[in-house]
Amino acid sequence: MNISNSIRKLTYIFVILFVGLSGGLVYWQVVKADNVSATIHNPRRCLRENSPMRGRIFDRNGILLAESVPDNNACGGYIRRYTDPSLAAVIGYYAPGVFIPGIEGEYNAELTGNSGRTALDNEVNKALHKSPVGNDIYLTIDERIQKIAVEKFNEYNPETDSFYQQFFSAGLAKPSNKGSVIITDPHTGALLAMVSSPGYDPNKLVQTLGAGDYTYFNQLDKDPNYPLLVRPLKSRYSPGSTFKTMTLMAALDSGTTTLDHPWDKKSAAGPLFYQGREIIGNNLGIEQGYTKHFPITTEYAYANSDNIVFAQLGVQTGLDKWLEYAKKLYIGQDDRFDLPTTVSKVENADGTPLSQLQLATNAFGQGVDDMTPLQMSMVDNTVANNGVLMRPMVVSKITDKDKNPLQTIAPRS
């Protein structure tokens, strides 16, 4: 009897140990398998059969923008190659074990084949000791337009711009390599080209990071001109008179004004005061003889960027209604883009309501307005698309390595 009890206890011990061992194997080989494979402390992650053949990235016309090429010195035997470094702000870069920005990061699961039907196929590949294969991504970017955007951005110089030769604007702008270009299709929301300057060389970055050399990355990271910053999506600027478009949309749609509404000389040129502060900048060139006849219309005030008229339009539209239209354009909230963006704002950071003076100055793009270039393109696109704002997008479809479509992303409002 005592022997039977001892055998039974021993059996229980073995069962408990077996269950614990099985649970540990399931946890590490199934639940935490991807984490174990990816950690930089795992030397097997760089074996070719464990490293996915990362998917390619193409433009809207099938022009290759990014691919993995053989490199015996690279982890996994492949290194990323980018055909157009000017698109680094969109595509980002990929090197094992480091932060991955841009499309490379946001669509990492797709590019490594760890999502959808391809993920199941790659589990079979792993069992057969074959290299996993990632999916290809097609962007809305048009490489032809991108090259033109880069060329025009680089050749522009305010010292040769006739506008800055005028007496009222001379000396207001200096040559600089800092800036953004964003070109979109207003009818679909598709991003066609984007420039963020100064930028960086993604090929040099992946080569150095892949070799464990952070010299170039640290140089970029400490550069006071912030070449790693994606200015079109992440930087906010005072929009100035370009924001009059938003105020005009709100005023017209709410019935506050019409394009042919008359403004006499005082209401169009001032003086105009709110809370004891004068609004300046009628920009009508009255003293120079550019505007000789009054009344002018709202359309004329918009064409000539009249701050006096637009301050009144903002106040007459009313704070709640003006903010309502701003929010319809996704100002102050997530803009639903495929890449991370900074939220634009038109309200006080501390949450206090806008004063009448702030509303007046916000209405013509000053005040506390703070916009990203992407946000301003959305404002303009709404007008160009007859009042319908399309969701901004940069990914158009995802295919497997044989170009069979896995997902097609349709434009949507």
Please tell me the distance from the alpha carbon of residue 105 to that of residue 111, in angstroms, as a whole number. 9
In this structure, what token pair is assigned to residue 179?
Answer: 């800036």
DSSP three-state, residue 406: strand
Closest Cα partner for 96 from 262, 211, 239?
211
Q: Would you give the end-to-end CA distance of the chain in angstroms?
A: 78
Query: In sequence order, what are the beta bridge partners of 82?
Result: 66
**Alpha helix segments (H runs only) across 66-115:** 88-91, 102-106, 108-111
Q: What is the pLDDT of residue 25?
A: 72
Q: How far apart are the C-alpha atoms of 243 and 362, rounded to whole Å?
A: 8
Q: What six digits make up the tokens of 160? A: 């040769």
pLDDT of residue 49: 44
Q: In this structure, are residues 380 and 249 in contact, taking their beta carbons and an 8 Å threshold?
A: no
**CA-closest candidate to residue 315, choices 354, 348, 270, 351:** 354
Q: How many CA atoms lie within 13 A of 238 on its CB side?
A: 10
Distances (CA, A) of 78 to 22, 47, 49, 93, 166: 35, 11, 12, 14, 55
Q: What is the pLDDT along the chain (413 residues), one digit of tens a residue?
A: 566 777 777 777 887 888 878 777 777 665 665 565 555 555 545 654 446 789 999 999 999 999 999 988 888 789 999 999 999 999 999 999 899 999 999 999 999 987 655 544 545 455 444 567 899 999 999 999 999 999 999 999 988 888 888 877 788 888 899 999 999 999 999 999 999 999 999 999 999 999 999 999 999 999 999 999 999 999 999 999 999 999 999 999 999 999 999 999 999 999 999 999 999 999 999 998 999 999 999 999 999 999 999 999 999 999 999 999 999 999 999 878 999 999 999 999 999 999 999 999 999 999 999 999 999 999 999 999 999 999 999 999 999 999 999 999 999 99
**Torsion angle, alpha carbons of 259, 263, 269, 273, to 10:** -100
pLDDT at residue 10, rounded to an integer: 76
Whole-model pTM: value is: 0.84
* pLDDT for res 3: 66
Helices and strands: H and E segment counts in the chain: 17, 12
